[in-house]
Structure 1
Amino acid sequence: MAPLPRRRLELHHPLLRRNESQAGQNRDHFHRHGLRTINLLSAPGSGKTALLEQLAHRWPRPPIGVIVGDLATDNDARRLQRAGARAVQIRTGDLCHLDAALVDQAFSQLDCSGIDLLVIENVGNLVCPAAFDLGEQRRIALLSVTEGEDKPLKYPALFKSADAVVINKIDLAEAVGFDRCIAIANLSAIAPQATLFELSAHTGKGLDVLIRWLDAKAA
């Protein structure tokens, strides 16, 4: 039997084309509402919600809006509502990231009147969320001192896509043996484009510097 002829197929359409299209529409919606929009990414337990609670209290023009992504429960959204934020919850089930369509659905449920800052608290994951544009203006990666210094080396895609990196829980650095110099060297090697902030979401130390950056850069 003669061998089958070989055919070469050119793949012209990116796998994330549908998400990219929706992300563009989201970006237009956010702009029309006058929103500064942040995509906040990190591993579980790094302190995203605690940081947003502080931000809700300290943002110079409250309230802030938050779209919260979790596999299950609405615990984080309720925490943020108690802190004064307008928050809506996305339960993703087995999906390990948010996509632009999910954000669009949640945004339609959010009362944006009087809000100029919208934060999308992504699902706690250092891999999948980095690949999905949600329509944000800025992307922030959060790293806690309890995770160790080598997270940027292990998960470079997330940190390379970030406009800023926040090192959180600095009040625990000495107790957990966190080596600040090594962590900063790793971040400089992987994410030289990112602005670095060091703070404690528990005590609020260092948060004012981040707020000034958000106010200027996300405008």
Structure 2
Amino acid sequence: MKQILVKKNILQTNEEIALRNKEVLLEKGIFTINLLGSPGAGKTSVLEQIIKNLKDKVNMTVIEGDLYTTKDAERIESHGVQVIQVNTGGACHLDASMIEEAMNHIDIEGMDFLIIENVGNLVCPASYNLSEDMKVTVLSIAEGNDKPLKYPSMFQRSEVLIVNKVDLIEFTNFSMDELYKDIKSLNENIKIFEVSCRTGQGLDELCEYFKSKVYERRGM
């Protein structure tokens, strides 16, 4: 596992670097998602399930963002996929320069699917283009259904919402009806998947959706 400590080039804007990265990803036919969500939402657990379901069907690589540790990257690496750890040194989000540096250490030949797991945060990461094809936000039942209206930018800019830990809903006052009402008021086109990494609910549908996007990019 390669670990990268970030050095930024402050003379170039995030968007310029993101566009340069995007050209490479498009040229190679790589479908890319930016996986977002709060600490504890279950991003890494969802990612592990995606890997288990798709790693024998598509060639996957993960860029794992974290403030300081390599714990999540070690979890991902144990599933036998290429993973690059990016430590931000305290910054609350990844940016395009970090992705560019990570891509310099990735074997992208033959790669189909790049997943960027961002730092846990519902604010700053929403504003940064990481060259992704789509932003995917994970929201857990334990967080409550009020998060879309409290953090609208994240949900407005995401194409997919994964409502995680739905097996816990009977133990909470989480309202799925209110969530759908609020999220659709912000982003009527967002696609919503209700999943549980413990029971497996909804994971087949989620993985099939991502597989279809990868195959579409590949022209398959």
> Is the TM value for this pair above 0.5?
yes
Matched, 1:139 2:125: no
1:29 CA displacement: 1.3
2:83 counterpart of 1:87? yes
Gaps of at least 5 residues in structure 1 are 1-15
Partner Cα distance (1:28, 1:204) in 2? 36
Q: Does 1:74 align with 2:70?
A: yes
Q: Percent of aligned positions with the same letter in both sequences?
A: 41
Moved over 6 A (4+): none
Aligned length: 204
After TM superposition, list the pairs within 5 Å mapping 1:92-111 onto structure 2.
92-111=88-107
The alignment status of 1:58 with 2:53, answered yes or no, reads: yes
Q: 1:23 and 2:18 equivalent?
A: yes
- The 1:101–1:70 alpha-carbon spacing in structure 2 relative to 1, beyond 3 Å, is same
TM-score, normalised with respect to structure 2: 0.88
1:13-40 residue CA offsets vs partner (Å, 9 max, x unmatched): xxx9710010001111112222110001
* Whole-angstrom distance in 2 between the partners of 1:166 and 1:33: 27
**Is the contact made by 1:123 and 1:129 (CA closer than 8 Å) also made in structure 2?**
yes
Does the CA contact (< 8 Å) of 1:166 and 1:198 recur in 2? yes
Which residue of structure 2 aligns with residue 37 of structure 1? Answer: 32
Following the alignment from structure 2 to structure 1, what is the Cα–Cα distance between the partners of residues 198 and 77?
18
Pairwise CA distance, 1:84:
2.3
Q: Give the alignment of 1:182-201 within 5 angstroms.
A: 182-201=178-197
Query: What SS does structure 1 have at the residue aligned with 2:13?
Result: helix
Give the TM-score of the pair, scaled to structure 1.
0.88
**2:3 corresponds to which residue?**
none
User: Of the two, which has the highest radius of gyration?
Assistant: 1
Amino acid at match of 2:50: L
Partner amino acid for 1:31?
L
| Structure 2 residue ranges without an equivalent (≥5) | 1-10
SS of aligned partner of 1:214: helix
> What SS is found at the alignment partner of 1:186?
helix
The CA deviation string for residues 90-125 of structure 1, in whole angstroms up to 9 with x for no partner, is: 100121100000011011112334431110000100
- The residue number in structure 2 matching 1:167 is 163
**3-state SS in 2 of match to 1:125:** coil
SS in 2 for 1:123: coil
Cα distance between partner residues in 1 of 2:197 and 2:82 = 19
Task: Output the aligned Cα RMSD.
Answer: 1.6
- For 1:13, the equivalent position in structure 2 comes to none
Deviation of 1:203 after TM superposition, in Å, equals 2.8
Deviation for aligned residue 1:85: 2.2
Greater length-normalized contact order (CA 8 Å, ≥ 6 residues apart): 2
2-side partners of 1:139 and 1:17: how far apart?
A: 23
Comparing 65-74 with 82-91, which one deviates more in the overlay? Answer: 82-91
2:207 is aligned with 1:211? yes
Could you give the per-residue CA deviations for residues 49-104 of structure 1, whole angstroms, max 9, x where no partner exists?
A: 01111111101524421101110111111100102221111100121100000011
Indicate how the Cα distance of structure 1 residues 17 and 158 shifts in structure 2: closer, same or farther if over 3 A, else same.
farther
